[in-house]
C-alpha cells in the first residue's frame, strides 16, 4: 500500500490542545506551539500564550510520496531567553485514512462512518477515531495522547486528495439504498442506534475496499 496515494495531498488541521503540561511555574501555564514534520516538510503553528488548552485551528498541507514515511507532531513551550521546552510528541498514523481515501467512494450521505480506528499500541490515539464522509470528502478526527510528557492531548483532523490512483464507479447511492431500504440515512456518526445498519454499511464498504485492492 506504500504507493497507493503517491503524490497525493494530505491536509492536517491542527485544532486544539487539552490539558497540556505546565512549563512556566510562576504563571502555572505554558506558551505552546506545535511542529509537524514529514520527511523534509516541516510546519510550525503560531504560539498561544499562557494557555494549556490552546485553540489553533490552523491547516497544513503535505505532499505525500510514501505513506510509510512517519508524520511526527511535537509540542513546545516558547521561551524568550532559553531553549524552548518540550511538551510531548506523537506520531500520526495516516494509513487507515489513506485506505479509506483510496476506496474511491462517492455520493455517500453526510455523516456516514467509513471506518472506525481504535486506540492501540501502534498509534497515539487517545479515543476511537472515525473516518467520516461529509460534503463530498472523507475526514478523520484524531485525539492524540502526547508521549514523553506528564500529560496532554492534541486534536487534529485529516483530509486529503487522491492522485495517480484508479477511480471507481459511484457506489454511494447503492450503499444508501442497501442499508436504509431507500430512505437515505446511512451510518450517521451521531446515530445512537449503532445497529445492524452500521454493520451492513461497514461490511459493504469493506467489500468495496477488497474489490479496489484486487483490480
Edge-to-edge strand ranges of the sheet holding 71-77? 41-44, 32-38, 71-77, 85-92
- Structural contact between residues 95 and 1, judged by C-beta atoms closer than 8 angstroms: yes
DSSP 182-194: TS----BTT-S--
Q: Write out pLDDT tens, residues 171-195.
A: 344 444 443 444 334 444 454 444 4
Q: Is the model's pLDDT at 196 over the cut of 70?
A: no
Distance of CA 197 to the CA centre of its chain: 24
Neighbouring C-beta atoms of residue 206, cutoff 10 Å: 13
Q: Give the integer Cα–Cα distance in Å for 215 and 50.
A: 53
The stretch 110-136 carries a mean pLDDT of: 95
8-214 fold: Immunoglobulin-like (2.60.40)
Q: Is the model's pLDDT at 117 over the cut of 90?
A: yes
How high is the pLDDT of residue 165? Answer: 39
How high is the pLDDT of residue 61? Answer: 97
All residues at 6 or more sequence positions from 32 whose CB lies less than 8 Å from its CB, including other chains: 17, 20, 47, 48, 51, 52, 54, 75, 76, 77, 78, 87
Instruction: At 182, list the grid cell.
Output: 431507500
Q: Write out pLDDT tens, residues 10-64.
A: 999 999 999 999 999 899 999 999 999 999 999 999 999 999 999 999 999 999 8
Q: Write out pLDDT tens, residues 128-168.
A: 999 999 999 999 999 999 999 999 999 999 999 765 433 33
Amino acid at each position: 500500500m506504500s504507493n497507493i496515494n503517491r503524490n497525493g495531498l494530505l491536509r492536517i488541521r491542527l485544532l486544539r490542545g487539552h490539558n497540556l503540561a505546565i512549563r512556566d511555574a510562576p504563571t502555572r501555564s505554558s506558551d505552546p506551539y506545535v511542529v509537524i514534520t514529514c520527511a523534509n516538510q516541516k510546519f510550525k503553528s503560531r504560539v498561544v500564550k499562557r494557555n494549556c488548552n490552546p485553540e489553533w485551528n490552523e491547516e497544513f498541507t503535505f505532499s505525500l510520496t510514501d505513506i510509510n514515511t512517519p508524520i511526527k507532531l511535537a509540542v513546545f513551550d516558547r521561551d524568550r531567553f532559553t531553549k524552548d521546552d518540550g511538551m510531548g510528541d506523537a506520531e500520526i498514523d495516516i494509513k487507515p485514512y489513506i485506505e479509506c481515501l483510496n476506496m474511491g467512494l462517492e455520493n455517500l450521505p453526510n455523516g456516514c462512518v467509513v471506518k472506525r480506528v481504535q486506540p492501540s499500541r501502534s498509534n497515539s490515539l487517545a479515543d476511537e477515531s472515525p473516518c467520516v464522509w461529509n460534503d463530498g470528502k472523507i475526514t478523520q478526527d484524531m485525539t492524540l495522547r502526547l508521549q514523553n510528557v506528564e500529560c496532554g492531548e492534541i486534536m487534529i483532523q485529516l483530509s486529503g486528495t487522491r492522485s495517480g490512483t484508479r477511480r471507481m464507479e459511484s457506489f454511494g447511492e447503492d450503499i444508501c439504498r442497501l442499508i436504509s431500504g431507500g430512505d437515505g440515512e446511512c451510518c450517521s456518526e451521531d446515530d445512537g442506534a449503532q445497529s445492524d445498519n452500521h454493520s451492513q454499511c461497514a461490511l459493504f464498504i469493506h467489500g468495496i475496499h477488497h474489490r479496489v485492492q484486487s483490480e
